[in-house]
């Protein structure tokens, strides 16, 4: 750290406050502040917002002021009038519910599920394992039993998964030219958000999502779009039959599991993949020396506290892919949260 940081630890204090800043945004989202401001189309006083959302005026005023402080909301004030708050373009686009690019579901999951899990981070690091048992009273070995512990949690998790591809889906679909793969299967493809990006980009390819039965049922019910050209199939990628394909996608799958299970899954894919076929891994890739990106380092801690997996640098993916028989391994760093790795059989 710099000399000025030794004189006064600005950066450290900013880091300490990081969770509070997150909670300011999360609380405003949960209360519906951004939706109300978007809908109203005019600036509103704290009293008006508090009344509409059923909160205390004092609490709401402090929340709105903090949101102005972090430049998520704007405020106008004259001597004669109360402060009037309005949304910024960023808040309207990413924080309100309705927009195409809304990250609302990502925020709800972070606030209601990830935040309590991270409360047990010290124990996760001491014990080297996830904290599903301590946080939610569910066995730590069955990670998707914990993640899918209720109908409501299934939908919240699916919302989180879906919103990532609003941001990174196009970069992943175009990281490599995949037009030669005519039958694509997205294993553990959840809501089908990434699969739809693939179908949009590669119109002459068919795209199927395979996921657990309860997820496929919910995806069909809540995420199917008009004219959807993505197929859904219920199954288990560890024990069931894998559908035939020439490209298998594993997006944020390897990072959930132990090395042993990841190798077993890659081996199963290799066994059904025709020569010339391939596998596309999508993960937040660490730098080779593990000194960043910070997002991937933080995601790796998240994997510790919630799953049995981790984030990895390129050489670890190369080892796993080679061990299971894949070759011609190529990497694409997108510069955003997620990266792509393509390997051929």
Which residue number, 50 or 251, has a Cβ lying nearer to ligand SAM? 251
Tokens 């993640």, residue located? 147
Our finding on whether 284 is near ligand SAM (CB under 6 A) is no
The C-alpha atoms of residue 37 and residue 58 are separated, in whole angstroms, by 18
Our finding on whether 196 is near ligand SAM (CB under 6 A) is no
Our finding on whether 190 is near ligand SAM (CB under 6 A) is yes
Taking alpha carbons only, the member of 130, 132, 162 closest to residue 147 is 132
Among 71, 151, 236, 288, indicate the residue that binds ligand SAM (CB under 6 A).
236
**Ramachandran class of 286: left when φ > 0, alpha when ψ lies in -120 to 50, beta otherwise:** beta
Which residue number, 194 or 320, has a Cβ lying nearer to ligand SAM? 194
Catalytic residue positions, numbered = 255
Among 253, 285, 305, 343, indicate the residue that binds ligand SAM (CB under 6 A).
253
Inter-axis angle of helices 33-40 and 18-31, nearest 10: 50
Among 156, 196, 252, 345, indicate the residue that binds ligand SAM (CB under 6 A).
252
Largest CA distance in the chain: 75
Q: Which string of x and - marks every residue 131-170 that binds ligand SAM (by CB under 6 A)?
A: -------------x----------------x--x------
The C-alpha atoms of residue 162 and residue 169 are separated, in whole angstroms, by 10
CA angle, 201 then 166 then 320, to 5° = 75
β-bridge mates for residue 81, sequence order: none
Among 28, 37, 245, 251, indicate the residue that binds ligand SAM (CB under 6 A).
251
Output the smallest distance, CB 339 to ligand SAM, in A. 13
For 132, other C-beta atoms within 10 Å of its C-beta total 23
Selected range binding ligand SAM among 49-57, 128-136, 251-259, 318-326, rule: CB under 6 A: 251-259
Our finding on whether 319 is near ligand SAM (CB under 6 A) is no
């Amino acid at each position: 750290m710099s000399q000025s940081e030794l004189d006064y630890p600005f950066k450290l204090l900013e880091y300490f406050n990081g969770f509070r800043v997150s909670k300011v945004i999360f609380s405003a989202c949960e209360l519906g502040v951004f939706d109300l401001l978007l809908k109203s189309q005019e600036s509103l006083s704290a009293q008006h917002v508090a009344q509409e959302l059923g909160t205390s005026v004092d609490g709401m005023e402090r929340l709105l002021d903090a949101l102005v402080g972090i430049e998520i909301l704007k405020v106008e004030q004259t001597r004669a009038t109360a402060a009037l708050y309005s949304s910024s373009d960023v808040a309207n686009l990413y924080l309100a519910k309705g927009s195409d690019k809304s990250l609302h579901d990502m925020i709800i999951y972070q606030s209601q599920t990830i935040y309590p899990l991270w409360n047990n981070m010290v124990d996760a690091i001491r014990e080297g394992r996830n904290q599903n048992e301590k946080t939610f009273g569910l066995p730590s070995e069955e990670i998707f039993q914990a993640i899918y512990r209720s109908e409501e949690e299934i939908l919240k998790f699916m919302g989180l998964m879906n919103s990532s591809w609003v941001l990174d889906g196009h970069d992943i679909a175009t990281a490599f030219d995949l037009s030669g793969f005519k039958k694509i299967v997205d294993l553990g493809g959840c809501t089908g958000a990434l699969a739809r990006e693939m179908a949009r980009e590669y119109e002459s390819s068919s795209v199927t999502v395979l996921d657990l039965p309860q997820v496929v049922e919910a995806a069909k019910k809540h995420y199917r779009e008009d004219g959807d050209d993505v197929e859904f199939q219920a199954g288990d990628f560890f024990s069931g039959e894998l559908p035939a394909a020439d490209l298998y996608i594993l997006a944020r799958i390897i990072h959930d599991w132990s090395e042993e299970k990841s190798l077993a899954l890659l081996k199963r894919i290799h066994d059904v993949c025709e020569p010339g076929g391939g596998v596309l891994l999508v993960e937040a890739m660490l730098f080779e020396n593990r000194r960043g990106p910070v997002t991937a380092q933080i995601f790796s801690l998240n994997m510790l506290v919630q799953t049995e997996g981790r984030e990895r640098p390129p050489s670890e993916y190369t080892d796993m892919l080679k061990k299971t028989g894949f070759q011609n391994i190529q990497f694409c760093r997108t510069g955003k949260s997620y990266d792509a790795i393509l390997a051929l059989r």
